[in-house]
Amino acid sequence: MVSTAEYTIVPITMAHLEDFRSAVDSVAREKKYLSFLEGPPFAMSKAFVEENIKGSWPHVVAIADGAVVGWCDITSLNRPVYAHCGELGIGVIPSSRGKGIGKALMIDALRRAKEKGLERVELTVFEKNVPAIALYQQLGFVIEGKKKSAVKIDGQYDDLICMALRFDDVENEHHDKKILEELKSREPIFHHPDKFGRTEHDILNQICDEFWEVGASGNVYTKEVVLSTLLERYNDPNYKDIWEAKDFALTRIAQDNYLLTYTLIQDKTRLTKRSTLWRRENGAWKILYHQGTVVS
Ligand SMILES: CC(C)(COP(=O)(O)OP(=O)(O)OC[C@H]1O[C@@H](n2cnc3c(N)ncnc32)[C@H](O)[C@@H]1OP(=O)(O)O)[C@@H](O)C(=O)NCCC(=O)NCCS
């Protein structure tokens, strides 16, 4: 159960049936968002809710002031080949929109879908439904296609956007964001002696055996040259290290191998583009290759 001062989100029960129907009916009658123009008949709604409860399909409702003000369901596609998928439907009555209820409903329903073992959740949405598309994208849904002029209400056409979320993709994205943060904290490379140490052993711990670098000067630096330069630099009390790093982008090249690119401004004047190939060896990040290119 999710509870705030304004609303509570709970799994639907048969006691919510009438209220759920009336919420669906009110959103359907807006004729702008749903693929039906009024709430389904009582028997159909009853069978729908019973089926969801019986099959433990995620179906949650938001309650405010004792009434159902929104719902989110993720239901079966009713074919063995689609057994790993669910189809999402959602709605919040007009007076309760824009208060975080839709998002909270979806987060709760998606959590239940994942717990149920679903791998993919899909939906269709009218192209003109900008708030819903924004919500879906925010929660990791991606656009997979478009059915042109698939909707016609009162003579007006709209395209139908097909969207889906795969839990694996969301996890991978989350994982890559975490890695980006880890690697950003190590860049620019060799400029964090306080964090990663200043001895020969500390420096060698940060680089792969095969490491080499092409400096922004265009010169090639071997591991040995980099090591002696850094030892000298770290022991020079007059060495001034002024830099700003930004525009980080991470690309996974292979398992445990990442390309990190960014912009570096040194001494407030020297602008270079940087690329570091990072490799994770035995749980530790090491630099395989680095390159700098002067931009201005
Ligand atoms: C889509 C809907 C469920 C969103 O519910 P809601 O409670 O109003 O949304 P929330 O307040 O939780 O907002 C969640 C996100 O939705 C998006 N959103 C909400 N209202 C928006 C608006 N007016 N314009 C653009 N984006 C909007 C934003 O991404 C927002 O995230 P943010 O607050 O971090 O910016 C609701 O507008 C609704 O019921 N619409 C009619 C029915 C419908 O469209 N169902 C879906 C059919 S596919």
Measured by CA distance, the residue closest to atom 5 of ligand 1 is 102
Interior/surface letters 112-133, b for 16+ CB within 10 angstroms, e for the rest: bbbeeebebbbbbbbbebeebb
The finding on whether 90 has its CB within 6 A of some atom of ligand 1 is yes
- 107-122 pLDDT, tens digit each: 999 999 999 999 999 9
How far apart are the CA of 96 and the centre of ligand 1, in A? 10
Interior/surface letters 50-89, b for 16+ CB within 10 angstroms, e for the rest: eebeeeebbbbbbbbeeebbbbbbbbeeeeeeeeebbbbb
The finding on whether 230 has its CB within 6 A of some atom of ligand 1 is no
Contact 271, 286 (CB under 8 A): no
Q: What is the pLDDT of residue 22?
A: 96
How far apart are the CA of 290 and the centre of ligand 1, in A? 44
How far apart are the CA of 168 and the centre of ligand 1, in A? 24
One-letter amino acid for residue 253 of the chain? I
Helix, strand, or coil (residue 155): coil
The finding on whether 129 has its CB within 6 A of some atom of ligand 1 is yes
Start-to-end Cα distance in the chain: 56
- 23-50 pLDDT, tens digit each: 999 999 999 999 999 999 999 999 999 9
The finding on whether 9 has its CB within 6 A of some atom of ligand 1 is no
How far apart are the CA of 138 and the centre of ligand 1, in A? 10
- Looking at the chain, the domain(s) classified CATH 3.40.630.30 span 2-169
The finding on whether 193 has its CB within 6 A of some atom of ligand 1 is no
- 117-155 pLDDT, tens digit each: 999 999 999 999 999 999 999 999 999 999 999 999 999
| Fold entry, domain 2-169 | Aminopeptidase (3.40.630)
Closest approach atom of ligand 1 to CA 105: 12
Q: Which residues contact 48 (CB under 8 A, 6 or more apart)?
A: 40, 75
- Looking at the chain, the domain(s) classified CATH 3.10.450.50 span 185-294
The finding on whether 101 has its CB within 6 A of some atom of ligand 1 is yes
Closest approach atom of ligand 1 to CA 91: 39
Look up the pTM and report it.
0.78
The finding on whether 102 has its CB within 6 A of some atom of ligand 1 is yes
Q: What is the pLDDT of residue 3?
A: 81
61 pairs with which residues across the strands?
10, 71
Residues 154-160: contacts with CB under 8 Å, at least 24 apart: 154/31, 158/126, 158/127, 158/128, 159/126, 159/127, 160/124, 160/125, 160/126, 160/127
The verdict on whether omega for the bond into residue 11 sits within 30 degrees of 0, i.e. cis, is no
* Ligand 1 mutation target, pool 35, 103, 107, 136, most atoms within 8 A of CB: 103
The finding on whether 160 has its CB within 6 A of some atom of ligand 1 is no
- 206-262 pLDDT, tens digit each: 999 999 999 999 999 999 999 999 999 999 999 889 999 999 999 999 989 999 999
Closest approach atom of ligand 1 to CA 103: 12
How far apart are the CA of 289 and the centre of ligand 1, in A? 45
- 154-204 pLDDT, tens digit each: 999 999 999 999 999 999 889 999 999 999 999 999 999 999 999 999 999
Closest approach atom of ligand 1 to CA 137: 29
pLDDT band for position 2 (cuts 50, 70, 90): confident
CATH architecture assignment, domain 185-294 = Roll (3.10)
- 62-109 pLDDT, tens digit each: 999 999 999 999 999 999 999 999 999 999 999 999 999 999 999 999
